[in-house]
Amino acid sequence: MRAVVYQKPFEVAVEEVADPKIQAPTDALVRITTTCICGSDLHMYEGRTDAEPGIVFGHENMGIIEEVGSGVSTRRKGERVVLPFNVACGFCTNCRSGKSAFCLTVNPPGAGGAYGYVGMGPYMGGQAEYLRVPYADYNCVPLPEGSDHEEDFALLADIFPTGYHATELAGVRPGDTVAVYGAGPVGLMAAYSALLKGASRVFSVDKVPGRLKLAEKIGAEPVDFTAGSPPEQIQDKLGTDGTDRGIDAVGYQATAAAGEEQPALILDQLVDTVRSTGSIGVVGLYLPSDPGAPNKHAAKGELLFRVGRFFEKGQKMGTGQADAKQYAHQLRDLIITGRATPSFVVSQNLSLDEAPDAYRRFDNREDGYSKVLLHP
């Protein structure tokens, strides 16, 4: 079959690779209809990870079941499904409590697996014609037949649940005021999820005009961080001493208005932005090892963080990759009834052959390349 294969830093190619096969009785094979390029694919693309040439990318996948193993009970050939990016077993301690991003079975001795990602287990990616799906009863989220909402459903594999997860980590409730740092695809999904949950005001912090415009379009209030301190801008708008909740959809590669990298910038700004007793959800990435970090502490994931103020304000913080499976069903139902339309972030629908070019443009942050969908 044909697949997007990593060649070397800044180069992927569409190549023939061996077809995936059912390996265990609990596997399914899925013919991919839509697969997305994710911002986190760029970490590998740019050569800033241990990813070896030959890896097939793609952890945001959906399609049609082509075959199921003899131990699969509830899924059938021909069903349309979306695959949350976390490969997970469904029965370990973490999966049983909904924390499928930290599955203890699929990638030992670590916690958590994924399709097409370095360090996340031996699972081929889905930027390809076919995908092997382990524990298919658990990992396939069934969808209505046909092709309706294809773009929306594709986002159930990762960014919509990840944005929603941020609001869960932050404990967003109806009536809350929420500050979301970052208005890239995940940040926009977080803002969108907060509004779906009944937040009274949502602030989206970014500097890219197109992103801020999109935030405004869905009902959030844009805050341009190049125009002044975001916590101060937000508190001025609020007229109170802080938002109820805060979300980090940026991570360690945060840059200050002047452009220099400041790994703990967003966390520190969130402590300032959120009121005492408020809570913070972090889905932006932080790493325990970052060779390209600005200093030796940051290289080990040790960041200067305003712990004193965080404690004094009695805040809470929840972190970690999204358990996409945990949210995918309920978010799917909101899409089916038309109450959620996350595809507003989609910028391109391309063929698999266009992937190399799309990676290049997306990595260059070309205008208008926010969320690319591939259709093999």
Near a copy of itself in 199-238, by CB under 8 A = 200-201
**Stretch of 154-162, 175-183, 223-231, 348-356 contacting a copy of itself, by CB under 8 A:** 175-183
Amino acid at 311: F
Q: Check: CB of residue 298 under 8 Å from CB of residue 263.
A: yes
Measured from the Cβ of residue 46, the count of other Cβ atoms closer than 10 Å reads: 12
C-alpha torsion 262→267→272→275, nearest 10:
170
**Stretch of 120-128, 181-189, 306-314, 346-354 contacting a copy of itself, by CB under 8 A:** 306-314
Q: Check: CB of residue 181 under 8 Å from CB of residue 187.
A: yes
Q: Please report whether residue 304 would count as binding a copy of itself according to CB under 8 A.
A: yes
- For residues 221 and 209, what is the distance between their CA atoms, to the nearest angstrom? 13
Q: Please report whether residue 1 would count as binding a copy of itself according to CB under 8 A.
A: no
- For residues 350 and 310, what is the distance between their CA atoms, to the nearest angstrom? 45
Q: Please report whether residue 346 would count as binding a copy of itself according to CB under 8 A.
A: no
What are 236's two structure tokens?
């001025």
Amino acid at 373: L
- For residues 313 and 326, what is the distance between their CA atoms, to the nearest angstrom? 31
Q: How far is the CB of 31 from a copy of itself (least distance, A)?
A: 22
- What sign for the dihedral angle of Cα 185, 122, 78, 92? negative
Residues 103-122 that bind a copy of itself (CB under 8 A): 105, 109, 111-112
Backbone region of residue 327 per phi and psi (left: phi > 0; alpha: psi in -120 to 50; beta: other values): alpha
Q: Please report whether residue 297 would count as binding a copy of itself according to CB under 8 A.
A: yes
Q: Please report whether residue 65 would count as binding a copy of itself according to CB under 8 A.
A: no
Nearer to a copy of itself, 75 or 211 (CB): 75
Q: Which of 130, 153, 225, 252 binds a copy of itself (CB under 8 A)?
A: 252
**Stretch of 77-85, 172-180, 209-217, 344-352 contacting a copy of itself, by CB under 8 A:** 172-180
Q: How far is the CB of 36 from a copy of itself (least distance, A)?
A: 22
**Stretch of 34-42, 53-61, 324-332, 357-365 contacting a copy of itself, by CB under 8 A:** 324-332
Nearer to a copy of itself, 213 or 300 (CB): 300
- For residues 229 and 214, what is the distance between their CA atoms, to the nearest angstrom? 21
Residues 117-146 that bind a copy of itself (CB under 8 A): 135, 137-138
β-strands 80-83, 28-36: how paired? unpaired
Q: Which of 50, 52, 73, 368 binds a copy of itself (CB under 8 A)?
A: 73
Helix (H, G, I), strand (E, B) or coil at 316: strand
Task: Calculate ∠ Cα 92-94-97, nearest 5°.
Answer: 105
Amino acid at 320: G
Helix (H, G, I), strand (E, B) or coil at 293: coil
Question: Interface mask (CB under 8 A) for a copy of itself, residues 253-292, using x and -?
Answer: ----------xx--x--------xx----x--xxxxxx--
Residues 42-61 that bind a copy of itself (CB under 8 A): none
Q: Please report whether residue 320 would count as binding a copy of itself according to CB under 8 A.
A: yes
Q: Which of 21, 76, 213, 329 binds a copy of itself (CB under 8 A)?
A: 329
Q: Please report whether residue 80 would count as binding a copy of itself according to CB under 8 A.
A: no
What are 290's two structure tokens?
């970052």
Q: Which of 13, 76, 93, 353 binds a copy of itself (CB under 8 A)?
A: 93
Q: Which of 87, 196, 215, 254 binds a copy of itself (CB under 8 A)?
A: 196
User: Which among 60, 55, 110, 57 is positioned nearest to 86, based on CA atoms?
Assistant: 60
Q: How many residues bind a copy of itself (CB under 8 A)?
A: 87
Q: Please report whether residue 64 would count as binding a copy of itself according to CB under 8 A.
A: no
Q: Please report whether residue 337 would count as binding a copy of itself according to CB under 8 A.
A: yes
What are 129's two structure tokens?
């014609």
Nearer to a copy of itself, 36 or 331 (CB): 331
